[in-house]
Amino acid sequence: MNDDRFDVIGRVTRRQDGHAMVTGRQLYSSDISLPNMLQARVLRSPYPHARIAAIDTSGAERLGAVCVTPEDVPRVKYNERQVSVPAKTYRDRTVLPDKIRHVGQGVVAVAARTEALADKALDALDVGFESLPAVFDPHEAMRDGAPQLHDAVMLGETVLPIERNIACSREAVEGDVARGLEEADLVVENEFTTGRAYHGQLESKAVVCRPEADGGITVWATTQSIHNTRQLLGILFDIPLSKINVQRVPIGGSFGSSIQMNSSVAICVALALKAQKPVKLVLTREEDMYDHCKYPSNIHLTYGVKRDGTLTAGHLKTVVDIGGHNIQAYPLLGCMAGWFVSLYRLPHLKFEGTAVYTNKAPACAMQGYGNPQVTFAVESMMDTIAEALDIDPIDLRLKNYVGLGETFWGQGPTVRSVIRSCGVEEMLLKGRAMVGWERRGSPARKTGRFRRGIGVGRGFHTSGTGAPTPGEVIDYSTAMVKINEDGSVDCLTALMCHGGGTLEAGAKMVAEELGVPLDRVGISPSNTRSTGYDVCTHATRGVYCGGASLLRAAQDVKKILLDFASRIIDVNPEALKVQPDTSRGQGFVFLPGAPAKRISVAEVAKTAQIKGWGSIIAVVSHRQVNCPPCFVVNFVEVEVDTATGQIRPVRAVAAVDAGTVINPDLAAGQLEGGLCRGIGLALLEDTTYKPDSGELTCGGYLTDYKIYTAQDMPSLEDLSTFFADTYEPSGPFGAKGVGEAANNATAGAVANAIYNAVGVRLTEAPITPERVLSALTREAEQLQQGR
Amino acid sequence: MMTKRRVTLTVNGEHVEPLVEANALLVNVLREELQLTGTKYCCGTGQCGGCTVLVNGEPILSCLTLAAAVDGADIVTIEGVAEPDGSLDPIQEAFLDHGAVQCGFCTPGMILMAKDLLAHDPSPSEEQIREHLRGNLCRCTGYHRIVKAIGSCGQ
Amino acid sequence: MGNTRILTREFEYVAPETMPELLALLDRHGPAATIIAGGTDVVPQLKYETISPDYLIDVTKIAELCTVRRDGTLHIGAAVKLRDVKAYCRDHEIYACLDDALGSIGQVQVVNMGTLGGNLCTASPAADAALALLVLEAQVRLIGSSGERIVALDAFFRGPKLTCMEPGEVLAEIQVPAVADHTGSAFRKIGRVAGDISKISCAVAVQSDGERCLSCRIGMGAVGPTPMRMPGVEQLLSGRAIDTDVMDEAADRLAADISPLTDARSTEFYRRRVSRVLFKDTFDQAWKRVQRQP
């Protein structure tokens, strides 16, 4: 698996932060404890839609608790997510709400010496609610006379009235769909839905805030963006950014749940500022489940296709139920258009997306950002088309996929670039052989209670959101690299690792560039006061964008290193090379072919210090001007128990085209994890609501929100992963991303495998045993009536 | 106010006598009184295994255990798995070598379950490993590398 | 919304070491007391705020509640850990359905903590061990300060989370009568993921002469207010030679006799449909186990 072109890139190495994790020494936000710290709890609404009539905190205050109510917090309207440019940012919430829009929404927050006391204070609060009619279905919400969640929101600095609960909508058109459908020999049409899966990150959202003597604050929080958290806190609480320090803290999983500055961060800060003591707020699991979920989808999809399998037109209409607040629905719809358009070549296309408010937990990004939803529909349709035209599903995909040299929309209509690396064909063909595609057979010929089927799904994600022109979304990273006086290296960046090894990849790139052994390259702890801006570790941008900024800084540092070395050993810097000598634990600068002209990096750095030449250090802010697709292919084999509707994933092959793979073990781990979550989205996961009360059916407990266990996944032998052999010219050392791509194609592959097993097309995910059995029963009844 | 009682515990080989309230859960006593934050609160309802610790050698869920009920017990948390000199247990080494760690939040529970399994059966089959781990959720890895790492420790 | 991280309820914790002490405590505190053993059910209930005791009485320190002995009848103390019951069943195949049921519990940790008495007193319609014990025709010994009584398990359950126990009574022992020769048993369930709470479960104990079902006991879980015996189906099968027609007839009867609901875990339609399949699979497994016997 090792890559001969490089010293450390592509090699399997132990991750630097692993030791702390296997020994329980890794400190997450929820583990932070400070002297004099108070514990916070939040009173949450039992109503899905209500006015707050009266709040009396005197009982809680008598217990010694510090309380903040909607009256006590800044009235600034904000959006938790700060990735879009201000003019495209919809702002519809305040630190504590003017009105309740979903069960579990926080109303009053308290802080006390212990959590038990804080809980007692919650009980002592007196809050009057005036319940309002609520709406839980997005289609109902758009009808005239439906309960209205928001009268108006802010878009940039403009007041935007909200009508029929439509938070925003987006359309993208190229060509003329009607004409494209007329030109087609076959028109297929179907409707698909995916559920409101819950992120299920194991660490519930957590935050600690310490007010500082200078009027500033220090914050430790579960977030994917320390800088956006800081900027938003600055706006909300009117504190200069120079006095707000947000620390980067390891996070116990995120999957998009902390892309934004979580609303609990602002609540905790408000409490800490009032108490003038450190305050800690860690959501309970049930609070966390009422806080966020994946964007569900309802997709109406139409394709026109020629008899030879050439697509002539595609039309995707979607309604997205975003819940009580709009976190990032506008860019989401843009991306959904991008995912749709960039999967398969469409001479005529139309995308129509509408995001609708309902009285449910706010939906936000969760691995894929609309991509698994769109790809589930599109990949299901590809198989429908292939069957109708009697074309092998893989051949149909090979004929139509958007690949090398073609224009790619990736992150939506405003982010276009040309594809310069592509492993789609390689992955489809190799995967086909690995899974034993020829065993697939036709569902019509399968009999018996247990039936197996094999399905394919393909897809992609973008590596970041970079583009040649500045668009609606901000994307750049800042990094500092410095060579210490013993030849070791410090890397400083605001980039986050969510577990996938992003920072490890950055360290490898720096080690490779500087020729220093990997164990002498350290990732420094970082915070907003010591680092330059980094937009957010999201959008599968960690390695491609964040890594590229570290590489640029390392390149600048290398110039200084070689310049200083040239002064010492009297060789033109242009002629010098670097190489690690792991046996001596040092990097060396040398002139090839001249053994005398060789000096350790440590000696160069030490000499520079002694002679007063200065530190070997560089800071770089870097924007990638592309967001190349990391393609993915999944083959899944399932076994359907036609008597119980239970579906077991028995075999899978997952492949990604990530360009040069930096951390092979961790990249494969991304594929395996993505597959597991993708199967969960396909078969298992959804948060549903009680129609009368607006409460979660599962109550917010994992007792009735299941995620797959080790025993539910295919065996070691039956799950394979591989990487396409590609090189992305715009990527650091040829690398692209993996992250979100890993689960984008899975649900489609699973649905196609089920169809291949039983001959029934299931379009409603999660495809639960209940849905399977109902569908099989309907099918059998129709067959009987047909006779 | 409830009366507090002193409970006697041996935690990772160390004798401790924390003062606890009747309703104190073991997970919170470990995390807050003893500052052993490697034991995690994740679901609170006994579904995820993140709070697993060994009590008298057996894995239990510390989020469903009253501290008062384990008075006198010998407890091992993730902080007690490595040797006192800091050298890692073979299971910990295997987790690092197989890329079995992503965000690391489930890792303490997983490693303690692996310790328990291997103590009873030094060479478990893959099915036994999966069955033993099924009460411990991991959201990152899909379990593949965790199962692989534990399997590699078998004799 | 409760709090699943800490217990907000304040109570006194007492751990008596003898039965008389326990009974005295129960008499003294009446409904203000709740018995706790492994805590795997009581602690979540405290967190959900569905119970609110002032006294929590831990029965696991009472030696006589923690023993297993057999004198033809198997006597399992109510506070015996599920882990120990499981180990015992592994060595005694006649209790195969109980072994299946304990093996189907999600977590090793819960098996280490939970007790057989707790599994029964929880009185969940979906309780796994309870269903297996039901078809083994187990009885429970209840002790109160005014005396003791033995109750058949199917009379013990009265509804969801409801038993026939009077205030001040405690479940002391589970008695499993000797299993007749040529009897096989099995337990199966369907959950959402491996080791999940049952969406639907089934236990069967059948005595056979190789062709005919001499007698049988059938139990269904999560399809009614309590774990349920299926007397209609049992009668239908008794004395009959077992073939697919008979099994279809029995499955039809079973599906008609259950009263499933739609809830967070499944639907009425699904449970009724799948009850037939699950029953046949479970019966088949129990039947095969009889044939395997010498």
CA closest to B86 among chain A residues: A23
Of A284, A644, A700, the CB nearest to C274: A644
Burial A422-448 (b: 16+ CB within 10 A, else e): bbbbbbbebbbeebebeebeebeebee
Q: How big, in percent rounded to 5, are the helix, strand and coil portions of chain B? A: 35, 15, 45
Q: Where residue A258 falls among pLDDT bands split at 50, 70, 90?
A: very high
B-chain CB neighbours of A702 within 8 Å are: 43, 45, 47-48, 137
* Residue A724 vs residues A249, A431, B118: alpha-carbon distances, Å: 33, 10, 37
Residue A187's H or E segment, with its range, is strand A186-194
CA closest to C106 among chain B residues: B135
A32-132+202-253+258-289 and A293-468+626-786 have identical folds: no
Q: How close does chain B come to C101, measured CA to CA in Å?
A: 15
Q: Where residue C106 falls among pLDDT bands split at 50, 70, 90?
A: confident
B40 touches chain A (CB under 8 A): yes
Q: Quick one: average pLDDT of A260-267?
A: 96
CA distance A464 to A411: 9
CA distance A156 to A140: 28
A-chain CB neighbours of B4 within 8 Å are: none
Tokens of A665: 């073990």
CA distance A502 to A550: 11
C-chain CB neighbours of B130 within 8 Å are: 194
pLDDT of residue A787: 60
CA distance B82 to A613: 45
Q: Residue A312: is its pLDDT beyond 80? A: yes
Of C5, C48, C192, the CB nearest to A684: C192
**A32-132+202-253+258-289, what's its fold?**
Aldehyde Oxidoreductase; domain 3 (3.90.1170)
- Give the start-to-end residue ranges of the domains of chain A: 32-132+202-253+258-289, 293-468+626-786, 476-622
A-chain CB neighbours of B23 within 8 Å are: 116
A673 touches chain B (CB under 8 A): yes
CA closest to A770 among chain C residues: C270
Rounded to a whole number of angstroms, the CA Rg of chain B reads: 16
CB–CB of B25 and C7 under 8 A?
A: yes
pLDDT of residue A786: 76
CATH class of A476-622: alpha beta
Q: What is the DSSP string of A660-705?
A: S-S-HHHHHHHHHHHHHHHHHHHHT----B-TTT--BTTTT-TTSS
Nearest to A616 by CA among A455, A740, A490: A490
Q: How close does chain A come to C12, measured CA to CA in Å?
A: 16
CB proximity under 8 Å: A 104-143 to B = 116
A-chain CB neighbours of B103 within 8 Å are: 201-203, 250-254, 498-499
Sequence-distant (6+) residues with CB within 8 A of C230 are C218, C219, C220, C253, C254, C257, C258
C-chain CB neighbours of B68 within 8 Å are: 13, 15, 58
The CA-CA-CA angle for residues A615, A621, A623, to 5°, reads 150
Amino acid sitting at position C19? M
CB–CB of B47 and A204 under 8 A?
A: no
A35 touches chain B (CB under 8 A): no
Of A120, A701, A711, the CB nearest to C195: A711
Nearest to B129 by CA among B98, B151, B96: B151
CB–CB of C13 and B69 under 8 A?
A: yes
Asked if the peptide bond before residue A732 counts as cis, ω within 30 degrees of 0, the response is no
CA distance A733 to A717: 32
Q: Which domains does chain C have, with CATH numbers?
A: 12-58 (3.30.43.10), 65-176 (3.30.465.10), 183-292 (3.30.390.50)
C-chain CB neighbours of B58 within 8 Å are: 83, 112
Tell me the pLDDT tens digit for each residue of A378-387: 999 999 999 9
pLDDT of residue C173: 97
CB–CB of C4 and A284 under 8 A?
A: yes
CA distance A248 to A238: 22
**A293-468+626-786, what's its fold?**
Aldehyde Oxidoreductase; domain 4 (3.30.365)
Q: What is the DSSP string of chain C?
A: ---SSS--S--EEE--SSHHHHHHHHHHHGGGEEEESS-TTHHHHHHHTS---SEEEE-TT-GGGG-EEEESEEEEETT-BHHHHHHHHHH-GGGHHHHHHHHTSS-HHHHHH-BHHHHHHTT-TT-HHHHHHHHTT-EEEEEETTEEEEEEHHHHEEETTEESPPTT-EEEEEEEPPPPTTEEEEEEEE-SSTTPPPSEEEEEEEEESSSBEEEEEEEEESSSSS-EE-HHHHHHHTTPBP-HHHHHHHHHHHHHH------SS--HHHHHHHHHHHHHHHHHHHHHHHHH--
Amino acid sitting at position A656? V
pLDDT of residue A1: 46
Q: Which domains does chain B have, with CATH numbers?
A: 4-80 (3.10.20.30), 90-153 (1.10.150.120)
Query: For strand A244-247 and strand A311-323, is the pairing parallel, antiparallel, or unpaired?
Result: unpaired
Of B37, B97, B144, the CB nearest to A672: B144
pLDDT of residue C1: 81
pLDDT of residue C192: 97
Please answer whether residues A762 and A193 qualify as being in contact, where contact means their C-beta atoms are separated by less than 8 angstroms.
Answer: no
Tell me the pLDDT of chain A averaged across its residues: 97
Tell me the pLDDT tens digit for each residue of A746-776: 999 999 999 999 999 999 999 999 999 999 9
pLDDT of residue A2: 55
CA distance A704 to A696: 10
- First vs last C-alpha separation in chain C: 56
The CA-CA-CA angle for residues B120, B124, B127, to 5°, reads 125
Task: Give the length of chain A.
Answer: 787
Q: Quick one: average pLDDT of A496-510?
A: 97
Q: What is the DSSP string of A268-286?
A: HHHHHHHHTS-EEEE--HH
Q: Quick one: average pLDDT of A499-513?
A: 97
Name the pTM for this structure: 0.98
CB–CB of B144 and A716 under 8 A?
A: yes
CA distance C183 to B29: 49
CA distance C9 to A124: 14
How many contacts does A have with B, using Cβ atoms within 8 A? 183
Query: For strand A293-294 and strand A363-364, is the pairing parallel, antiparallel, or unpaired?
Result: parallel
CB–CB of C193 and A773 under 8 A?
A: no
Neighbours of chain C (3+ CB pairs under 8 A): A, B
How many contacts does A have with C, using Cβ atoms within 8 A? 73
Tell me the pLDDT tens digit for each residue of A150-166: 999 999 999 999 999 99
pLDDT of residue A436: 97
Neighbours of chain A (3+ CB pairs under 8 A): B, C
CB–CB of B38 and A253 under 8 A?
A: no
Give the residue from B1, B27, B75, B140 with the most A CB atoms within 10 Å of its CB, the best one to mutate: B140
C-chain CB neighbours of B43 within 8 Å are: 4
CB–CB of C6 and A119 under 8 A?
A: yes
A257 touches chain B (CB under 8 A): no
A97 touches chain B (CB under 8 A): no
Q: Is the dihedral of CA C93, C98, C101, C103 positive or negative?
A: negative
Sequence-distant (6+) residues with CB within 8 A of A629 are A342, A408, A410, A419, A422, A460, A461, A462, A463, A657, A736
CB–CB of B64 and C43 under 8 A?
A: yes
Tell me the pLDDT tens digit for each residue of C182-196: 999 999 999 999 999
CB–CB of A707 and C194 under 8 A?
A: no
CB–CB of B28 and C6 under 8 A?
A: yes
Give the residue from C193, C244, C279 with the most A CB atoms within 10 Å of its CB, the best one to mutate: C193
Tell me the pLDDT tens digit for each residue of C201-254: 999 999 999 899 999 999 999 999 999 999 999 999 999 999 999 999 999 999
More confident site: A436 or A410: A436
Give the residue from A13, A22, A716 with the most B CB atoms within 10 Å of its CB, the best one to mutate: A22
Q: How close does chain A come to B140, measured CA to CA in Å?
A: 5
A152 touches chain B (CB under 8 A): no
Ranges of chain B with pLDDT below 50: none
User: Hey, what's the torsion of the CAs at A272, A277, A282, A288, to 10 degrees?
Assistant: -10
Q: Residue C197: is its pLDDT beyond 50? A: yes
* Residue A250 vs residues A429, A506, A603, C277: alpha-carbon distances, Å: 39, 16, 34, 48
Tell me the pLDDT tens digit for each residue of A558-604: 999 999 999 999 999 999 999 999 899 999 999 999 999 999 999 99
